Structure 1
Amino acid sequence: MRLIRYYLPAIIWILMVLYVCTIPGEKVPTSPFFEKIHMDKIVHFSLFGCTVLLLCIGAYRQKGMISKTNLTLIAIAASFYGLAIEYIQKYIAIHRSFDMNDVAADTLGAIGGIIAFNLIRKWGWLKSPSAPNK
């Protein structure tokens, strides 16, 4: 149970992403402006960037460090999660469809999440749990 505390924000976020990505299509807000700026892709990028960021923060807080291999594995897992959601939209969700451009946005968002995590860590906004208190 102690392990889950590091990942609880990520778990809640991942479940929220699943919910948002599988609500019926007619409940998804649309507007010509949003379509023009590809708001759907911006949303996918943000959802999966935040997913990776939260998972990386959880791993970092649990272990006090995170390897490049683990960063890569988290991003790959998030990308496959995005792909799985597209299949759920195609076969299970009501009035939703499969879109490889969404998968691309998810993958780019996952990479963005790694970049954001590295910047947060570099700037000192994220302290290792083993770091002494000042």
Structure 2
Amino acid sequence: MLFRKPYFPALSWAVIILILTLLPPQALPKVPDWSLTSIHSLAHLFIFMTWAFLLLTGFFRAATSGKYNRIWVTFILAVSYGALIEVLQGLMRLGRQPDIVDIFFNTLGALLGIAAFFLVKKFFVKEPLRAAK
């Protein structure tokens, strides 16, 4: 079941992503114009890197199917979720605009999150990941 404890951090972060990316632009903090593109892109990269890391951690803690399946499912979910958010931004008429560059940085963030997971697992985790009880 998807709502088990191992998935709680990833599900919580997914809700935060949805709220932040669908808020009207007036509700977000103002950023200087000269840095809007880079900060905006880095924000997408960071939030999807974090989400992919949390999601993959949940898959490993839940001991779902094989290692490569977990990686692909994480990647496909992250890319699909990022694309869905961009579609919703276009459909909901809240002052947000869909942007292919956002999808690119979401995808890049997902890849970095997956890589970060394995780096952390290799260098900092001494025992196998297990489900929280």
TM-score, normalization by structure 1? 0.86
The percent identity for this pair of structures is: 26
Alignment of 1:49-128 (within 5 A): 49-63=49-63, 67-125=67-125, 127-128=127-128
* Secondary structure of the structure 1 residue equivalent to 2:62: helix
> Do the aligned partners of residues 63 and 126 (structure 1) sit closer, same or farther apart at CA in structure 2, a change above 3 Å counting?
farther
- CA-to-partner distance for each residue in 1:11-43, whole Å, 9 max, x for gaps? 10000000000000112222124226x111100
Give me the whole-angstrom Cα distance separating, in 1, the residues matched to 2:3 and 2:15.
Answer: 18
Corresponding position: 1:35 with 2:33: no
> Do the aligned partners of residues 89 and 127 (structure 1) sit closer, same or farther apart at CA in structure 2, a change above 3 Å counting?
farther
Give me the whole-angstrom Cα distance separating, in 2, the residues matched to 1:79 and 1:32.
Answer: 28
Give me the whole-angstrom Cα distance separating, in 1, the residues matched to 2:59 and 2:2.
Answer: 13
Compute the displacement of 1:68 (Å). Answer: 2.0
CA contact (8 A) 1:64 1:128 kept: no
1:16 — aligned with what? 16
Indicate the RMSD between aligned Cα atoms, in angstroms: 2.2
Give me the whole-angstrom Cα distance separating, in 2, the residues matched to 1:51 and 1:93.
Answer: 26
Compute the displacement of 1:62 (Å). Answer: 1.6
Stretches of 4+ aligned residues off by more than 6 angstroms:
none
Compute the displacement of 1:70 (Å). Answer: 1.7
Compute the displacement of 1:73 (Å). Answer: 1.9
Structure 1: give runs of 5+ residues left out of the alignment: none
1:6 — aligned with what? 6
- CA-to-partner distance for each residue in 1:31-66, whole Å, 9 max, x for gaps? 124226x11110000111111100111111121885
CA contact (8 A) 2:64 2:70 kept: no
> Do the aligned partners of residues 19 and 2 (structure 1) sit closer, same or farther apart at CA in structure 2, a change above 3 Å counting?
closer
